[in-house]
Amino acid sequence: MVNVSKEYAEELDRQDELAHFRDEFYIQPGTIYMDGNSLGLLSKRAEQALLEVLDSWKQLGINGWMQGNHPWYYLSENLGKMSAPLVGAKPEEVIVSGSTTTNLHQLVSTFYQPIGTKTKIVADELNFPSDIYALQSQLRLQGYDPNEHLVQVETRDGREINEEDIIEAMTEDVALIVLPTVLYRSGQLLDIARLTEEAQSRGIVIGFDGCHSVGAIPHKFHEWGVDFAYWCNYKYLNNGPGGVASLFVHEDHFGKTPGLAGWFGSDKEKQFDMSHTFNPAETAGAYQIGTPHVLSIAPLIGSLQLFDEASIERVRTKSLRATRYMMDLIDHELKPYGFVIGNPTEYHRRGGHVCLEHPEAARICKTLKEHGVVPDFRAPNVIRLAPVALYNTFVEVWETIQILKQVMDEAQYEKHPNERDIIA
């Protein structure tokens, strides 16, 4: 029996061992922010870290590269070490650099090595478009037709990708597999360990897009033997809009020359020799291309300090509890209005957000914003709601569902066209 009282939500908040982290974030009065799976909120420590780095530029000028609390020259590597526990990596296997798509280009240009008839890349048809664009362009650069050489595993239901179908696509002509850890619409969490084992047993390199999982779900990339991974840091990791991204390369591949070479991928001791012979770092740092975007990387210093204190395991525990509570309330309160839960319900198969489907999703999202609830719309019919462990409360989950019920009871959404805004 579902307890739908506000008092129960208040009791859950009293039991929440991560509740005090909410005070670390800037939360606007009268707003329930349920969009942290798209852009995380600013924390006070991220702000302070940015101000410290900005001050080092003001006080030190070019000497900031080697002086101050956070010398810029080593910042990407140091933040990689801080990020490593979140993905189950060795410190030298992670580097904070580039953007999601540029990192994917870097990794594919390195690990996609077509030989003979082994030329195809496997992805899925529910993946985020930017990944597909990058894979298509990499194939074209190699002289291959994406229509023939990019295999996109089809969905059976429009929501999920079946792991059996992915494994079936691992044929002898496949050179590379690139998949999301979590599907961005439905929140399905793929079995990363199993898919990695199946791919490598067939001699296929496999990499993962962790944008919708890193910071919400613990991973064991090193232990599982994942060849490479890449992710943004501005969602669950709260690094700010357009913040610098990250990538992981398993130590088994250290010493491999990156497909896209740049001077910041050099061995740090030799970088300023200015030699025209590239001497790549013997770590994931080799996959850097250009000078780090210092001011866009700085907030991550403070953000990762919070995750170090909270631990990704406790974050996942609360996230699972909050999404389960939200789904229970939806089942009890919203089923008569035509809402359908589109994400997997099992703990081991879902990410950090709830996928709520409704034919009027676009206009419902607009109405929620009028009530101070910030959701996320994804075409054609998905409302994504993410109760983020570090700053959302169980009372906010309860209030969100009550507001949704009011919106539907009074048909408030009907005043809006059922179409997305420029940015959805």
DSSP 416: S
2: pLDDT strictly greater than 90: no
Q: In whole angstroms, give the CA distance from residue 196 to residue 199.
A: 5
167 and 222 co-located in one domain: yes
Is 295 a domain residue? yes
Q: Are residues 99 and 209 in the same domain?
A: yes
**CA-CA distance, 286 to 128, in Å (whole number)?**
26
Residues 299, 324, single domain; the answer is no
Average pLDDT over residues 31-40: 98
Are 342 and 220 contained in the same domain? no
Whole-angstrom distance, CA of residue 24 vs CA of residue 259? 40
Residue 403 forms part of a structural domain: yes
* Chain segment 372-416, per-residue pLDDT in tens: 999 999 999 999 999 999 999 999 999 999 999 999 999 999 999
Q: Is 100 a known ligand-binding residue?
A: yes
Q: What is the pLDDT of residue 378?
A: 95
31 assigned to a ligand binding site = no
The answer to whether the annotation marks 38 as part of a ligand binding site is no
Percent of the chain whose predicted confidence (pLDDT) is above 90: 97
- Tell me which of 285, 309, 333 is where a domain ends: 309
In a domain, 422, yes or no: no
Q: Is 291 labelled a binding residue?
A: yes
* Strands 32-33 and 373-374, sheet pairing: parallel
Q: Does 345 carry a binding-site annotation?
A: no
My answer on whether 358 and 324 are in the same domain is yes
Judgement on whether residues 305 and 318 belong to the same structural domain of the protein: no
Whole-angstrom CA distances from 326 to 16, 34, 129, 149, 182 are 16, 12, 28, 41, 19
Check if the beta carbon of residue 230 is closer than 8 Å to that of residue 100: yes
* Cβ burial, residue 114 (10 Å; 0-12/13-18/19+): middle
Number of structural domains the chain divides into:
2
- Say yes or no: 197 and 257 in one domain: yes
224 is in an annotated binding site: no
Is residue 234 a known part of a binding site?
Answer: yes
Cα–Cα dist 343/13, whole Å: 24
- Find out whether 263 is annotated in a ligand binding site: yes
pLDDT band for position 69 (cuts 50, 70, 90): very high
List % helix, strand, coil for the chain (3-state, nearest 5): 45, 15, 40
| Residue 281 and residue 266 in contact, taking contact as beta carbons nearer than 8 Å | yes
> Looking at 272, 292, 309, which one is the last position of a domain?
309
Backbone angles phi, psi at 180, to 5 degrees: -80, 150
* Residue pLDDT, tens place only, 228-263: 999 999 999 999 999 999 999 999 999 999 999 999
- Any binding-site annotation on 111? no
CA distance 172 to 176: 11
pTM over 0.95: yes
| Residues of the domain holding 146 | 49-309
Determine the pLDDT at residue 265.
97
- Does residue 71 lie within any of the structural domains? yes
Residues 304 and 386 in one domain: no
378 and 278 together in one domain: no
Tokens of 355: 């996928």
For residues 167 and 280, membership in a common domain is answered with yes
Give the model's pLDDT for residue 420: 83
Chosen domain end from 271, 291, 309? 309
* Matching residue, tokens 């991973």: 219
pLDDT tens figures, 283-342? 999 999 999 999 999 999 999 999 999 999 999 999 999 999 999 999 999 999 999 999
Looking at the domain assignment, is residue 41 inside a domain? no
The residue with tokens 């013997």 is 282
Q: Is the peptide bond before 380 cis (omega within 30 degrees of 0)?
A: yes
Q: Judge whether 35 and 375 are in contact, CB under 8 Å.
A: yes
Identify whether 420 is part of a domain: no
Q: Is 257 annotated as a binding residue?
A: no
Residue 42 lies in a domain: no
- Structural contact between residues 65 and 292, judged by C-beta atoms closer than 8 angstroms: no
For residue 419, give the nearest of 362, 339, 364 by alpha carbon.
362
Residue 334's domain is classified under what CATH number? 3.90.1150.10
Same structural domain for residues 163 and 297? yes
In angstroms, the Cα distances linking 57 to 161, 290, 337 are: 47, 19, 55
Q: What is the mean pLDDT of the chain?
A: 97
Residue 62 belongs to a domain with what CATH number?
A: 3.40.640.10
Q: How far apart are CA 166 and CA 354, in angstroms?
A: 24
- pLDDT tens digit string along 109-163? 999 999 999 999 999 999 999 999 999 999 999 999 999 999 999 999 999 999 9
Statement to judge: residues 103 and 141 lie in one domain: yes
User: Is the residue at 191 inside a domain?
Assistant: yes
212 is in an annotated binding site: yes
